[in-house]
Structure formats: C-alpha cells, structure tokens
Structure 1
C-alpha cells in the first residue's frame, strides 16, 4: 500500500484533500485509480487508511476508512551531525539515514568540509528538494514520523549546541580503541537522545577532535577501516541503533 505524508491542514475528520504535488504523483506518476486504498500519515504517529476519489479537475481526495496509531520508530531520538559535501553525496546521506531511522539531521561546516560559503542559508528550492528526498525515503521504508533537517551551522556551534547534555559521540578515524559499545557503557542505560557526528572527506583535524572532547563529546571509532564520509554516516546510525535495541532487550 502506498504511503503519503500529508500536511495536517489537508486532513479532516472523514476526508483528506491531497495537495497538488501529491495529487500529481498519485495520478500521473503512480497512476493510481479511483477507489484504491492508500495510507495517509500526519507526522504525529497516526495513520489513516483512505479510499481515493479522483475528481475531474485533476485534484485527488480521499475518504477516511480507519485511523490507527503506528510506532515504527527507533526507541530513542538519534540526531546526526554530518559534514556538508557535494549535492549527490549529501542527498544520498539524507535518503539512507532517513531509512535507517535518524530523527534529526544537522549539517555542519568544518575545516576540511568540501562545501563552504552560502550553504548555511541554502535557497528555498534546494531545501525543498532535500526535504522531499527525506519524505519519500520515510514513506518508502514505512516510517511513522518524518525526520527534521536543520540549517547548516559551523562545527564549533554544532559542538556547543549539545555540550553538557545527553550522550554525544564523535566518530574520528584517529580514535582506534573506544567503540560505540564502550561509549554507551559510560552513558545512561536508557538515554532518550543520542547525538552522533561524522566528519568530511578529509576527516576531523586533531584540533577539532580536542575541541569536541573538551565540550563533553566522546571520541569513538567505527572500526579499523577508513570509510567514505557518506558510508560513515549510515554506519554510525546503524551501529548505534542496533546497540540501543540490543540493550533494551536485556533484562
């Protein structure tokens, strides 16, 4: 069954009025028919099972048949701080980390980041494209909630933004011993939020790693191999999510 995140203002008690871009997707891209059933999500955890009504003017509405509450999210809130990079790589990171269960993505610019300049204030079209990539990924993997994409910040501001709060892990290729498992052993057994930070193509500088450490971030390794920056981002999310799930299953 196809799933669509729809703005709350388009959802009524007994019907859904699909926005123009989703109506176009339903009619022209997916070629769904009148009477077919789809799932409509409002980003609150509620899912409405809807029967489509294709009108003559090109718009699409839906009759709500049933409303259910789903929980397909990770048991904790995972924030990913990821270095800005080329458009193709960054969009891949947005897509794959959304599929992996990230809650919030905060791009940052560090000394070795490939992208600098006006990326702290991307144009509206670029931001809309990025959000659409995340929304489509969340629909495809049947998530209950959409992750949030924040504006880009400097490395220093990213580090300071969570200093002294929660569990904060910075993945650094020069750290050879401390693993995610060891880092979480020193954290709360049941944290509600974990912040993860992965670096640019050239990695973090030693000064940046020391700066993070001085603000309460733990330096951890993703293993003995050097990963591409986009691979490191998805590996960090997956390893952390697996370990949290494993720990929650323990007596």
Structure 2
C-alpha cells in the first residue's frame, strides 16, 4: 500500500488533505483513483489507513478508516552527535542514520573539525539541505517520524545536551574490552534515550574524551580496525539497532 506524509494541520477530523508534490504523484504517476487505499503518516509516529475520497488538480482528500502507531520506530530515542566531517560526508551519514532508526542528528564542532559553519546564512542553507535529506530517507524507509537535524552545537553544548539523556556512549580507539562493549550495548535496551558521540576525521582530542568520561559517557570499541567517521556512526547504530529491535 502506498504511503504518504502530512503535517498535523492537514488532518481534519476524519479527513486528511494531501497537497503539494504528492498530488501529482498520486494522480499522474501512480494513477490512483477514488476508493483506492493508502497509508498516511503524520511524521510523529501515527499511521492512518485511508480511502481516497476526492482527487483534484491541487489536492487529494482521503477518509480515515483506522489509525495506529507506526511499528517502524525503536522504543529508545537515539541521538547521533556527529562531529562535522569534510565535503558531503554528512549527507551520507544523515541518510543512512535515518534508515537505521536515529531519532535526532546533532552536528557538532570539535577541536579537529575542519568544517566550522560560522556564517549563519551558510549554516542555515546546510541545515535546510540536511533536513531535506532526512525527510527523503524517512519516507523511503517507512519511518513513523521525520528525524530532526538540529542546529550545529559546540562540543561542550553537545555534552551538556547529552547529560539530559538516559544513556550515552562514545566509540574510542583505545577502548579494548569487546566483552565490556557488548555489556554496554545490551544495557541500552529499555532506556528511553541514548546518545552516540562520533568524532570527525582524526577523531576526538584526549581532552574531549576526558570531558566525555567525566560526564559518564561510556567508551565502547568497534573492533581492531580504524573506521572512518562516516562508517563509525553507522556501525554502532547498526549494532545498537539490532539490540533494541523488538
């Protein structure tokens, strides 16, 4: 069954009004007709099973037959604190992290970050692009929410934000005990929120690692191989997703 996303203000009682590009997709690409069934998601974890009632050039109106919580979401909200990488690596990280179930992505400026994004206009343009990638990835993977890409934070701001979460981990190349890492990952199950810290190219400086340890962010190892920044986050996300999946 085809799936579409709307904002809550497009839901009116037992009707949902679809506008924008999805109208053309429904009419001219899928060639759907009145009484065809579709799923509409509000982007906040709720799926509506609907029947198309009206189709016009600028909107599609569907009647809600039933609704339920989307079953695609993890019970734990995962926050990815990603050290800003070079070039377009952030776009790949966002796309794949959303597919893997991340709840929110926080770009972080660290001491070894080459990209700084100091200019507000430049940062805003990047954020709009990144949020668009998150939205597309959420739709493609059937997510129940559209993960948010937050404004860029300093490392200290990210640490302070993470202190409000229930559980936090940081892959660290000097962490050696793989069995301890397995225990840490298993302990994430049942937590309401989880933060993952990933450094940029070159990783974190020791002072940043010390700051993380002092705030009870737990070090984990990803094995004996050195992973690129765009690989490390996806690796730990995959491991944690497998453990948290119902």
Structures share a fold, TM > 0.5? Answer: yes
Q: What are the superposed Cα offsets for residues 134-193 of structure 1, whole Å, 9 maximum, x if unpaired?
A: 2222222222222222111011211122237522111122323355323346x5763221
C-alpha distance in 2 between matches for 1:15 and 1:69: 18
Report what 2:184 is aligned to. Answer: 183
Contact 1:81 1:195 (C-alpha < 8 Å) held by counterparts: yes
Matches of 1:124 and 1:23 in 2, distance apart? 28
Secondary structure at the aligned position of 1:117 is classed as coil
Question: Whole-Å Cα distance in 2 between the matches of residues 215 and 164 of structure 1?
Answer: 11
Cα shift at 1:10? 0.6
Alpha-carbon offset, residue 122 of structure 1: 5.0
Distance 1:242 1:27 in 2: 38
Instruction: Name segments (4+ residues, structure 1) moved above 6 Å.
Output: none
Alpha-carbon distance in structure 2 between the residues aligned to 1:164 and 1:104: 14
- Does residue 143 of the first structure (1) align with residue 143 of the second (2)? yes
Secondary structure of 1:194's match? strand
Aligned length: 243
Unaligned runs of 5+ in 1: none
SS at structure 1 position matched to 2:113:
coil
TM-score, L = length of structure 1: 0.84
Query: CA, structure 1 residues 60+194, in 2 after alignment: closer, same or farther (shift >3 Å)?
Result: same
5+ residue gaps, structure 2, are none
Q: Distance in 2 between matches of 1:155 and 1:86?
A: 17
Question: CA RMSD, aligned part only?
Answer: 2.6
Q: Secondary structure at the match of 1:168?
A: strand
- Contact 2:189/2:243 (<8 A) preserved: no
Range moving further from structure 2, 212-221 or 176-185? 176-185
Contact 1:181 1:243 in 2 (8 A): no
Alpha-carbon distance between aligned partners in 1 of 2:30 and 2:120, rounded to the nearest angstrom: 38
**1:24 shift after superposition:** 4.1
Q: Which residue of 2 aligns with 1:85?
A: 85
Q: Which residue pairs with 1:73 in the alignment?
A: 73
Kindly report which structure 2 residues correspond to 1:212-251, keeping only aligned pairs within 5 A, or say none. 212-245=212-245
Q: TM-score, normalised by structure 2?
A: 0.86
